[in-house]
Amino acid sequence: MYDRFKRRINYLRVSVTDRCNLRCVYCMPECGVDLMSHKDILSFEEIVEVIRFGTENGITKVRLTGGEPLVRKGIVDLVKMIAKIPGIEDLSMTTNGALLDQFAQPLANAGLKRVNISLDTVEEKTYKKITRVGDLSNVLKGIKAAQSAGLEPIKINCVIKKSPIEQDAQEVAEFCDMNDLQVRFIKEMDLETGYFDRVIGGDGGHCATCNRLRLTADGKLKPCLFDDLEFNVRELGIGTAYSKAIGLKPKAGSENTVNKFSNIGG
């Protein structure tokens, strides 16, 4: 599938839930956010249908995200269902890693290929301050479990304020060096004001080569993280939602006033 700017669209990021077990200061208020109603959340069968349509039309990469994907009940079964869809060359997940110790091996057995893990600091107290409720030791155990399960290469998503030379970022980089992990620095963004930047060490945020569509947990296909456009697969039908999302994918991101990072998956 190509959009009107000749960008090949082959990557679908699927948010499987808007729930999260952390409350990162740059992502979610302490009291959480208004949650989607259960009836609005796509069933596993619906998610599989949307992905299948995508793979029949050129999607080859699928990434599961959230909220926190590991808090979606039955996530291993969902991965198993998605892994069976023909045409997927890369099936990955972005997770905060807090539950990965228990899930890494079952996910690998189900067909997940690799994980990106969010980690902004390796200092326990700072980790608690950033995530409000998180425990660094759980993520560290999760990273080890992901390595043992072969969910590699493991990329570490590290949100920075301004620059990768900030102390926390430097310490995360050292930790990654020592543990055979790839680090990517993501400048803290603001969806509403449209402040975004390229991912340092990754390929996100570069509009000219953007190959992505996003599916929200309540079934809206979004052509761009920094845009209000969204097309409901239940209301429009899957095919129409895809063709509108691709046909109207903006040349570049501007601002998004209808989503939060917490429900669109970063």
Supply the minimum distance, in Å, between the C-beta of residue 118 and ligand SAM.
Answer: 4
Q: In what order do the strands lie in the sheet with 231-232?
A: 182-187, 155-160, 114-118, 90-95, 61-65, 11-15, 212-215, 220-222, 231-232
Q: Does 157 bind ligand SAM (CB under 6 A)?
A: yes
Among 95, 121, 211, 256, binds ligand SAM (CB under 6 A): 95
Rule CB under 6 A: choose which of 75, 81, 91, 186 binds ligand SAM: 186
Sign for the pseudo-dihedral over CA of 86, 87, 90, 96: negative
Q: Which is nearer to ligand SAM, 226 or 231 (CB)?
A: 226
Binding span for ligand SAM by CB under 6 A among 162-170, 185-193, 223-231, 239-247:
185-193
Sign of the Cα pseudo-torsion (109, 213, 117, 131, in order): negative
**Shortest Å distance, C-beta 157 to ligand SAM:** 3
Sites for ligand SAM among residues 37-76 (CB under 6 A): 65-66, 68
Total binding residues for ligand SAM by CB under 6 A?
Answer: 19
Q: Token match 């409350």: residue?
A: 23
Q: Smallest distance, Å, CB 3 to ligand SAM? A: 24
Residue 154's alpha-carbon distances to 13, 40, 100, 235, in angstroms, are 17, 32, 12, 37
Please give the residue ranges that form the binding site for ligand SAM (CB under 6 A).
20, 26-27, 65-66, 68, 94-96, 118, 157, 159, 186, 188-189, 261-262, 265-266
